[in-house]
Structure 1
Amino acid sequence: MHDIYEFSARAWQIHDVLQTLFSALPEDQENSAVPVLGVVGLLTSLSRELANELSEIKANEPTTHAHHTQYSSFGGV
């Protein structure tokens, strides 16, 4: 079974990869149909928040249903 420290480390790895991509991408064009830099920037920010949250959870600490669904895009499903 995976522990919270492993999930935290994976989240930080994902954040680091996204941060590297963000740094390497050119600025989005004003009339761009797909704002790639903006999307990668958003994902970088979200991954940092996730990694921080996971880093703050202590192993075997009970969590509530509300905690699990706080950032759900499915409205708490």
Structure 2
Amino acid sequence: MSQKKGFDIAQLVIGIIGILLAAAGLFKFVPVLVGKQDRFSCDLQPDTALGGEVWTVMYRNDQETKPWLKMVTTLDCR
């Protein structure tokens, strides 16, 4: 065991980070990634890597609609 007394830099940094996280939790700080008016939909988009089309989740906000997540090349909706 170490005979060192007091705080070292690592303990101080960890303490400061803990205080900051606790303060953020008290203020309910949550970064907004998707707004209330933003929408998602599915659409067939061209697949440039394999050719053909791929089902893609599209993200739409007030300014634009853009691909968000490529899904599958076939979709069976029975």
Give TM-score scaled by structure 1 length: 0.31
Structure with a larger share of its residues in helix: 1
Higher RCO (Cα < 8 Å, 6 or more apart): 1
Structure with a larger share of its residues in strand: 2
Larger Rg, first or second structure (1 or 2): 2
